[in-house]
């Protein structure tokens, strides 16, 4: 089963376009878990168990694990393995934002796809298609390319005019029309920019988009869905991280995370 088949199955099974970002900042994990041997994994495990039937994907951001050195990397491995073993239908996206020359990317491919077992990875487009070819050759996996990111300073480069349109639209067109020969490309488009999201949707057709920025970053769910859904009322993986996993920092964190995930899942479905 390739990425697209897996995603389509879980979207229908769980009636969900929601992705939970496992941005498990060690400093924000509830105090009662801090004494655990692997506190990030212990936290993630409970979050995953509490929300697995409400989501289509989980997305650990690799930075929060690399910050812990060897222990953090072990906890990333344990988190990925836990998802794959216990909830194999749920898509696993590793948010690594990788990009380098081709020979270096071979190492990233092996680590993220073969060692961690991820279904998808986030990538920078700046080095071009040739450099990302080791990722693009993996037709069973998904390459999620940054296009219009959710951060406030996104426009510094992404809005620069190239000919008669901004750079981010060139990225959308190039990735969707030229890089996607194996049907294994997606784009990252922030919920904080619904007008730009609508323009990208018009270019890429029914291509699936990873949409961060709802929840703590302030993206509006209704505007996001109306701007970004495809002709089938789907075509989006909508990510919320802090707004779900840190809905509470007490011993009720799992229940609060589930409640927030369920609320967001229902709100997304309301506008599909």
Does 97 qualify as catalytic in the annotation?
Answer: yes
CA nearest 196: which of 224, 234, 232, 160? 224
Active-site residue identified among 78, 84, 97, 182: 97
Q: Which residues are catalytic?
A: 97
């Amino acid at each position: 089963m390739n990425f697209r088949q897996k995603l389509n199955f879980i979207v229908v099974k769980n009636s969900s376009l929601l992705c939970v970002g496992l941005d498990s900042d060690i400093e924000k994990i509830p105090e009662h878990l801090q004494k655990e041997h692997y506190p990030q994994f212990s936290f993630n495990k409970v979050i995953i168990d509490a929300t697995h039937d409400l989501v289509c994907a989980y997305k650990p951001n690799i930075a929060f694990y690399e910050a812990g050195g060897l222990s953090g990397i072990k906890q990333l491995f344990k988190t990925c393995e836990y998802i794959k073993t216990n909830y194999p239908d749920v898509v696993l996206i590793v948010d690594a934002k990788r990009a380098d020359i081709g020979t270096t990317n071979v190492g990233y491919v092996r680590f993220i796809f073969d060692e961690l077992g991820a279904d998808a990875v986030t990538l920078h487009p700046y080095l071009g298609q040739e450099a990302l070819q080791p990722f693009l050759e993996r037709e069973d996996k998904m390459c999620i390319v940054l296009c219009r990111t959710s951060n406030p300073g996104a426009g510094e480069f992404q809005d620069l005019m190239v000919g008669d349109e901004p750079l981010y639209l060139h990225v959308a067109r190039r990735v969707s029309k030229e890089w996607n020969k194996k049907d294994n490309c997606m784009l990252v488009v922030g919920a904080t920019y619904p007008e730009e999201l609508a323009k990208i949707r018009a270019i890429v057709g029914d291509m699936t988009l990873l949409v961060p920025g709802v929840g703590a970053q302030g993206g509006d769910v209704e505007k996001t869905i109306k701007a970004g859904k495809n002709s089938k009322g789907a075509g989006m993986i909508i990510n919320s991280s802090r707004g779900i996993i840190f809905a509470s920092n007490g011993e009720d964190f799992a229940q609060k995370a589930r409640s927030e995930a369920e609320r967001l899942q229902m709100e997304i479905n309301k506008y599909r």
